[in-house]
Amino acid sequence: MPTLWNKIAAAFAVLALVTAAWAAAPERTHEIEPEDYFDVQVALDCTTSPDGKYVCYTEQRWNDKDQPRTTDLWVVETETKELQRLTFDPVSDSSPQWAPDGRQIYFMTSRKREGAARPYDGTQQVWRTTVAGGEILPVTRVEGGIADFALSKDGRTLYYTKHADQEVDTWKDLRSKFDMLEYGHGKLKKSCLWKLNLQTWRCEKLVDEGRFIRAFAVAPNGRRIAMITDPDQRLITHEGWSRVDIFDTESESVTTLPDGLWRAGVPSPHGWVDGPAWSADGSALAFTVGFDGYPTLVLVAEWTNDEVTVRELIRPDGVEATGHLVWRPKSSDLCFLGEHRARQRVYRVTNVNGGGQGAAGILTPGDLVVHGFSFSDSGDSLTFVKSDIAHGRDLFQVPVNEPTSSFRQLTMINPQIETWKLPQIEIISWKGANGDIVEGILELPPDYQRGQDPLPLVVEVHGGPTAATLFRMRFWIYGRTLLAAKGYALLSPNYRGSTGYGDKFITDLIGHENDWDVEDILGGVDALIEDGIADPDRLGVMGWSNGGFLTNCILSRTNRFKAASSGAGTMDQLLQWALEDTPGHVINYMQGLPWEATEAYLKASAAYHLGDVETPTIIHVGQSDARVPREHSQLLYRALKDYLHVPTELIVYPGEGHGLTIYNHRLAKMKWDLAWFERYILNKGQETKAE
């Protein structure tokens, strides 16, 4: 593990590289290897100080090959672009929030010192530091730790939530007597909302309703606190039984917003309520409701004389709201991240008040992907984290009233990328199912010229499916950047059900999984073969989550692919409904429960169509995956190895969930996929009998 002084030296080395890289763009000579992935630092989000002089952002980096990445706080001075790293502890720090003085920053972390008492016992607490760095100070010492926090606008009060076991249980005595056993739903959690007076340092419990508080937001005027609450901590209760509760600090009462617009009033009741955000004057609350298979709704609740009305915000045509709702200060403009045709930008809807809304526009135009944004208290300048096809994530600024002006770059977090031989990245389109136009991201080797010999092609299928592959350079463990660097063409299709192509394109997939989505993908392969880019005799397919599901579907549909990498993919929709932590996903696409839509469950399941599979397939899955449990991968492995005698390998990653988080696990995934594709697509090495 690196020492503190090693880390400080590394930070200065980064600053030196940044200075050199900004002076002149170096020549791109570096051939990308899997190990380069672990040198990339990732800026996650940013928050601007009230006076606009500083921006605090969180950055992920790798420190230990047997651990996940850690997240640290950094700050950049907007005028001089001077960087300061604020935290160095080998744990993750999150949720930075500025004090009104613009010099102090509050954040959450879990510090641990051997044999030490709270707050160094590994529980999550609120801590505080300054823009100058140095010693960090604990703010809370709550037994068991906190779940979330928010600082009041005036900086005098800190609100936080704390989870605890629910005590109401008919079988409590028997569970306690036989506590060595495992029970179906385990211990259910509830939450309480507390406030800490930062002047008197006294705590007061505000809300204890016997529900689980998943998120909360405090109105700037302190009058109301919005809470997204569920019956308990299980995600199944969040997707269908969550609600918006409002705590009135004057009457000390809790009321619930009417939910007709996202429960009874939509095709699916299984919506995820998230992202509460208050307007500057505290009279309006915005939040999102997301669905698997349906567009995300942006809702606005407005109070007039203590009477509340809830309405849906009209989104710009074709734009999918992906979250991060922020009200622009000193205005009634609501801003959010929105996807449109593989780009993700900051959108603004003006004058959201009085039951109406004004014009919608883009604050970050261009071919880019924005990952997070914030305003200073003036609301005049927008700071955001963006990436594009030639660069990783960095911080930029732009005047709000001049969004077409040049972005001002504040950081260069990964100067080494400037020397990489990057893939050629473009958006292509073709005819998919029913003759509809489908788009995708095509990556080609850096030096490839059209008209040369066709390339081996790997199709990389995104998860979701209510998601999209975005138009940017992304070095990722599922093929992007690396495969093009190794001489492959890589196609990432935004097949039916993907976001950013209009509401109809999303909902068209309902009732058509393992059907229109597969046709969309295969249509892209055909188009690249016809264009002379892809070699029809050297094709591969890979994906994770829903991408793994579609990889499995393609395996059961055709043997034209010479190799496949199936990651955490569903095989049987009935099994998926029974085991996953968010079964509303299956119910939406199958259009009913298993006993209501039995034929749909069978048709959409690859498990019943494996008889003719011949494609050599490597299978990856996390040992503790709750989203697509490992039983699906074991089903595919058994079918291929023991009954169909197809070359296969099953890799189970210990301790991992639905995504791989450990350095060595991600490296193994990339190395195994490269070796598998080299053997079965490029025909390197001698093929043996079924493995």
Instruction: Write the class of the CATH domain 316-415.
Output: mainly beta
Ordered DSSP codes for 611-660: TT----EEEEEETT-SSS-THHHHHHHHIIIIIS---EEEEEETT--SS-
Q: Which two tokens stand for residue 324?
A: 């991060």
Name the E strands within 115-252. 125-130, 137-138, 148-151, 157-165, 189-197, 203-207, 212-218, 224-230, 243-248
What pLDDT is stored for residue 22 in this prediction? 57
CATH code given to domain 147-168+187-312:
2.130.10.10
- Amino acid at residue number 321: A
Domain extent listing, the chain: 46-80+89-141, 147-168+187-312, 316-415, 421-680
The CATH number of 421-680 is which of 3.30.70.3420, 3.40.50.1820, 1.20.1330.10, 3.40.390.10? 3.40.50.1820
Whether 316-415 and 421-680 share one fold: the answer is: no
Q: Which two tokens stand for residue 205?
A: 């419990």
Phi, psi at 39, each rounded to 5°: -95, 0
Count helices and strands in the chain by DSSP H and E runs: 12, 36
Q: How far is CA 275 from CA 6, 284, 287, 325, in A?
A: 38, 14, 5, 7
Helix, strand, coil percentages in the chain from 3-state DSSP, rounded to 5: 20, 35, 45
Burial 342-357 (b: 16+ CB within 10 A, else e): bbbbbbbbbebbeeeb
What pLDDT is stored for residue 24 in this prediction? 67
Q: Which two tokens stand for residue 355?
A: 């039951």
- Count Cα neighbours of 638 within 13 Å in the Cβ-side half-sphere: 8
Q: Which two tokens stand for residue 629?
A: 């449990």
Which segments in the chain show pLDDT lower than 70? 1-24, 403, 686-691
Q: Which two tokens stand for residue 398?
A: 């732009």
User: What is the pTM assigned to this prediction?
Assistant: 0.93
As a whole number of Å, the end-to-end CA separation of the chain is: 38
What pLDDT is stored for residue 1 in this prediction? 38
What pLDDT is stored for residue 18 in this prediction? 46
- Amino acid at residue number 153: K
SS3 (DSSP) at 15? helix
pLDDT tens digits for range 205-227:
999 999 999 999 999 999 999 99
Distance separating alpha carbons of residues 582 and 569, to the nearest angstrom: 15
pLDDT tens digits for range 37-96:
999 999 999 999 999 999 999 999 999 999 999 999 999 999 999 999 999 998 999 999
